[in-house]
């Protein structure tokens, strides 16, 4: 029988094999995206028309920057993207990056300065906390990040703006879904093909402020 350390080692090895063989990982390398997550946003955009030329976008939890890459190609030089993450992110054209915690008042002020008073077409968040594998712990922490992102979106979106967030299907998910339905005119769930089947992640898209 493997000891706990052995189990972790096997799990890490299995993940590495899966990652290396992942077609989206291979495609991201070929097409110059920083991570496979780019294809989640590409699919969501194709279905729900999230990105447009000249759009104003805020990307919460942006590192390593694959969602910014997708968005920047769509909004172009006439658009504006403000990206925020605790981790450092390599710069790119048409993206203003702010390193810090978006729930911090000083960071929020930096975001507002970067927006220059403009209201936002799309707030998108691909954030999840560091996962423990214990649903009772992971889900509330993930939903808390969703709630913070929603609070930011409500304060900064245009009346017809959209809020896209990764969520975790577990305790608190249904309550958060119902909360969004009270705050937005339309709320739908999406599971992109690039999202691994075994993952409990799902994306919620809320449109139009009530």
Instruction: State the Cα–Cα distance between residues 174 and 115, nearest whole angstrom.
Output: 32
Task: Determine whether 131 is exposed, middle or buried from the number of CB atoms within 10 Å of its CB (0-12, 13-18, 19+).
Answer: middle
Q: Give me 33's structure tokens.
A: 């995206």
166 is catalytic: yes
Alpha-helical regions (H) of 101-162: 105-115, 135-156
The residue annotated as part of the active site, out of 40, 74, 162, 166, is 166
Count of alpha carbons within 13 angstroms of residue 202, beta-carbon side? 16
Orientation of helix 4-21 relative to helix 23-31, angle to 10° = 50
Burial 101-118 (b: 16+ CB within 10 A, else e): ebeeeebbebbeebbeee
Q: Which residues are catalytic?
A: 166
């Amino acid at each position: 029988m493997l000891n706990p350390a052995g189990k972790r080692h096997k799990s890490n090895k299995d993940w590495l094999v899966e990652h290396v063989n992942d077609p989206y990982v291979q495609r991201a390398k070929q097409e110059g995206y920083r991570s496979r997550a780019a294809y989640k946003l590409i699919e969501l955009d194709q279905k729900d028309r999230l990105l447009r030329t000249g759009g104003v976008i805020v990307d919460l939890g942006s590192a390593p920057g694959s969602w910014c890459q997708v968005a920047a190609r769509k909004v172009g030089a006439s658009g504006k993207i403000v990206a925020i993450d605790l981790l450092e992110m390599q710069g790119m054209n048409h993206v203003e990056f702010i390193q810090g915690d978006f729930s911090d008042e000083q960071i929020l002020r930096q975001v507002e300065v970067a927006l220059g008073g403009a209201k936002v077409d799309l707030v998108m968040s691909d954030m999840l906390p560091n996962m423990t594998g214990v649903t009772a712990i992971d889900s509330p922490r993930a939903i808390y990040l969703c709630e913070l992102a929603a609070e930011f979106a409500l304060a900064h979106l245009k009346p017809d703006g959209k809020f896209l967030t990764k969520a975790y299907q577990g305790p608190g998910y249904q309550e958060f879904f119902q909360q969004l339905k009270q705050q937005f005119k339309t709320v739908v769930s999406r599971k992109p093909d690039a999202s691994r089947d075994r993952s409990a992640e799902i994306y919620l898209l809320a449109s139009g402020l009530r």
